[in-house]
Chain A
Amino acid sequence: MKAQPIDAGFFSTKLNDMVGWARKYSLFQYPFVTACCGMEYMAAACSHYDIDRFGAGLPRFSPRQADLLMVVGTVSQKLAPVLKKVYDQMCDPKWVVAFGVCASTGGFYDNYATLMGIDRIIPVDVYIPGCPPRPENVLDGLLKLQARIQNQKQLL
């Protein structure tokens, strides 16, 4: 089926909402963990903060099964082609979260080794600031992503 414009009538808008609702509560994430932010990712994912309440509780360890790429930590120039490849391996629809300032902008690193933000090589939907971000911050970012998924035009 082709993508429908949002104002195309009752059925298609409701379908759009429904698909968005289903998608935002069944995020399968691929954690691309490279550095210290990983600890905070684990805290957010484990039972104290329990990311499963938001429907994102099942990390997949193959990008082919995931629809949310979480880039957690510093990405170096050497790793950049790998990240791009992982992103390309994911099937549509897919979303990307830059977790922590390193993934968002390079953070305090400004040197020969570090990629200055993953948005230089792949598109990013939500940036979570903090070094590292608190788990509340992560969950907030996840809610923002869910709102974005709900409101976007769904590709069916």
Chain B
Amino acid sequence: MILEAVKAKFPDEVLETSEFRGDLTIVVRKESLAQIMKHLKEEAAFDFNLLMDLTAVDYLSMERKPRFDMVYHLYSLRNKHRLRVKVGVHEKEPEVDSLVVLWPIANWFEREVWDMFGIRFKGHPHLKRILLYEEFEGHPLRKDYPVNRRQPLMKQKSDHELEFIEAREYGQAVPELLRGSANQEEKKI
């Protein structure tokens, strides 16, 4: 019923509707996201006054176009119904409209999506990283971020240095391999 009502109201903007075991999903055009969301929030028949979650998905390995999906989960406290809204976002232009004016909670969620996926939000009041540090380069939840890439904030001991410390701790002979780092370590102490 909700699906039909949305589709009837926005015949051109809603690209796809589906239902799976009672979960309703609509896929909408990116340009009309803000308009549709405003309607979903303010129209009494829908009354989605709670934005439960907002996140993104990267479909890199599926070679899908558009590469990203923005996913919004809406809930109506009064009508007790839910709706999932999806928007495709292209890699070339990773930007969607910010929903902070509708639901203030979107502020931090959108910052998180920017932090992790590098999708920008037009009209966001303060779009900067929320979890990672400013020095971090790239967006780690993008599937093309190398799994073993580390960006430490401070100097850390290497595996070799740790092995040397352990060997000395237990009075073992320091393996030949570690001699080089051993000398440096000795100087420090």
Contacts and interface: CB of A to CB of B under 8 A. Distances in A.
Given A120-B162, A121-B157, A77 B149 contact: no
Contacts of A112: 140, 145, 149-151
Contacts of B150: 77, 112
Nearest to A119: B162
Interface in B101-140: 132-133, 140
A5 interface: no
| Interface SS of A by simple majority | loop
B154 A113 contact: no
A78 interface: yes
Interface in B143-159: 145, 147-154, 156-157
Nearest to B152: A77
Interface string A71-88: 000000110110010000
A120 B133 contact: no
Contacts of A66: none
A33 to B, nearest CB: 19
Contacts of A119: 157, 162, 165
Interface residues of A, number: 15
A80 B152 contact: yes
A111 interface: yes
A123 B145 CA distance: 31
Contacts of A84: 154
A80 B145 contact: no
| Interface SS of B by simple majority | loop
B156 A111 contact: no
Given A111-B147, A112-B140, A112-B145, A80 B162 contact: no
Contacts of A121: 154, 156-157
A110 B150 CA distance: 10
A80 B153 contact: yes
A68 interface: no
A121 B165 CA distance: 13
Given A112-B145, A113-B140, A120-B162, A81 B153 contact: yes
B151 to A, nearest CB: 7
Contacts of A120: 156-157, 162
A115 interface: yes
Interface string B148-189: 111111101100001001000000000000000000000000
Nearest to B162: A119
A112 B145 CA distance: 9
Interface of A: 77-78, 80-81, 84, 110-113, 115, 117, 119-121, 123
Interface of B: 132-133, 140, 145, 147-154, 156-157, 162, 165
Q: Closest 8 A-B residue pairs measured CB to CB?
A: A120-B156, A112-B140, A120-B157, A78-B133, A81-B154, A77-B152, A81-B153, A80-B154
